[in-house]
Amino acid sequence: MRILITGGAGFIGSNYIHYILEQYPKDTIINLDALTYAGNLENLKDIEDNPNYKFVHGDIMDGVLVNELMKDVDTVVHFAAESHVDRSILDSAAFVRTNVNGTLILLEAAKNNGNVRFHHISTDEVYGSLDKDAPPFNETTPYDPHSPYSASKASSDHLVRAYFHTHRLPVTISNCSNNYGPYQFPEKLVPLFVLNLIDDVKIPVYGTGENIRDWLHVSDHCKAIDKIVREGTIGETYCIGGDAEKTNMEITNIILNAMGKGEEMIEHVEDRKGHDKRYAINFDKIKNELSWEPDVTFEEGITETIEWYKNNEKWWRNIKSGEYQEYYNKQYGNK
């Protein structure tokens, strides 16, 4: 395959690039990334000289560039997005710009270049929030996004489906639960808490910490995406989950225990506005149709993830100091 990956310098995209280059040495990858605060080329340092990999610094909003790149590929895997709920509460405009308008530009270029196969990465947050005992989300759950982030992802999902129905663009969509693992930007719960604890800084639990998320190791997400890209049914949506529902307090205590720290490190802070209570996923469809299910248990995955952050201190210290944004200049010249 010749794959255009958008947002490949972010958390899941960089894990996916590593996965594809390991599994399919004959595939070629173009990684189009704008290097926002969340993009970090240090995530890809080990493969930057791989002849089957090329980085292009650019914005998915650049229609001319996107159109050019589309000519050289047969498949798009679209990760690029503004991805943090808290940021979308403070400033929603960038979310609509990248997640909605940016997706539209990619769809249009895919259509205009011979209907390039298009896989769209989305989130379970488009389905809204569940009560404690409600059945988990599945592919038929009505959309009910609550945050500007999830509303923008929902819009992009609708556009992707519209291009399938209107233009017969060969699309698939995946809606995945919360990921954790290596290279996650330390604004998200797991790396934020681990790194704070390494530095003996308190960890901010929003409200009472009773909110529930379903956690999936990023390597399992990458395998699921790959299955869908290669074997999925065109026009279909697949829900991906980890079978690992946990309250935020459970996650907090697991991390505290694993790091040998006590409850005095917890700081209950003001709750997130409109904080969704619970996300949970029924992934029977991808399990039955594509034989995918998670390989990594939460207990294994979190232990390995904590070790990864402990062993990669330079990676996250560079993020904290802002030095990671200089990496592009050193490697590729001025932005």
> Are the CB atoms for 48 and 55 separated by under 8 Å?
yes
Residue tagged active-site, from 42, 59, 108, 124: 124
Contacting ligand NAD (CB under 6 A), which of 4, 5, 9, 222? 9
H-state helical runs in the chain:
11-23, 63-70, 85-90, 93-95, 103-112, 148-167, 189-198, 218-231, 248-258, 284-290, 298-311, 313-321, 327-332
Q: Return the H-helix or E-strand segment holding 138.
A: none
Distance, in Å, from the CA atom of 262 to the CA atom of 254, rounded to the nearest integer, reads 11
248 binds, among ligand TYD, ligand NAD, none (CB under 5 to 8 A by kind): ligand TYD
CA distance 248 to 256: 12
211 binds, among ligand NAD, ligand TYD, none (CB under 5 to 8 A by kind): ligand TYD
The tokens of 233 are what?
A: 């049914």
Among 17, 60, 154, 189, binds ligand TYD (CB under 6 A): 189
With beta carbons less than 8 A apart as the criterion, state whether 51 and 73 touch.
no
Integer Cα distance of 138 and 122 in angstroms: 13
User: Is 332 among the residues known to form the active site?
Assistant: no
User: Is 124 one of the catalytic residues?
Assistant: yes
Interacting span for ligand NAD (CB under 6 A) from 76-84, 107-115, 139-147, 200-208: 76-84
Q: Which of 98, 152, 179, 211 binds ligand TYD (CB under 6 A)?
A: 211
Q: Which residue from 129, 178, 179, 305 is in contact with ligand TYD, where contact means CB under 6 A?
A: 178
Which residue lies nearer to ligand NAD by CB, 175 or 196? Answer: 175
Closest CA to 159 of 122, 125, 132, 186: 122
- Spell out, one character per residue from 262 to 301, where the chain touches ligand NAD: x when CB under 6 A holds, - when not: ----------------------------------------
Is the separation of the CB atoms in 42 and 115 below 8 Å?
A: no
Q: Is 206 in the site for ligand TYD (CB under 6 A)?
A: yes
Q: What three-state secondary structure class fits 123?
A: strand
Nearer to ligand NAD, 7 or 136 (CB): 7
Closer to ligand TYD by Cβ: residue 94 or 192 = 192
**Which one of residues 78, 120, 188, 285 is an interface residue with ligand TYD (CB under 6 A)?**
188
Selected binder of ligand NAD within 12, 66, 104, 255 (CB under 6 A): 12
Q: Active-site residue 279, yes or no? A: no
Find tokens 């699921």 and name the residue: 224
The CA-based angle 13-121-43, given to 5 degrees, is: 10
Instruction: Let me know: does 173 contact 126? Beta carbons within 8 Å.
Output: no
Query: What's the CA gap between 56 and 174, in Å, rounded?
Result: 25
At 56 the three-state DSSP class reads strand
Distance CA 180, CA 305 (A): 8
104 binds ligand NAD (CB under 6 A): no
> Which residue among the candidates 33, 82, 125, 214 is catalytic per the annotation?
125
Least separation in angstroms between residue 122's CB and ligand TYD is 12
Under DSSP, the state recorded for 188 is S
**Minimal distance, residue 285 CB to ligand NAD, in Å:** 17
- 3-state DSSP call for residue 152? helix
Contact between 85 and ligand TYD (CB under 6 A)?
A: yes
Q: Identify which of 42, 292, 35 has the alpha carbon closest to the alpha carbon of residue 174.
A: 292
Per-residue mark of binding to ligand NAD, 43-62 (x: CB under 6 A): ----------------xxx-
Binding site for ligand NAD (CB under 6 A): 6-7, 9-13, 33-36, 38-39, 59-61, 79-81, 83, 98, 102, 121, 123, 153, 176, 178-179, 185
- Give the catalytic positions in this structure: 124-125, 149
Binding site for ligand TYD (CB under 6 A): 85, 178, 188-189, 192, 204-206, 211, 213, 248, 272
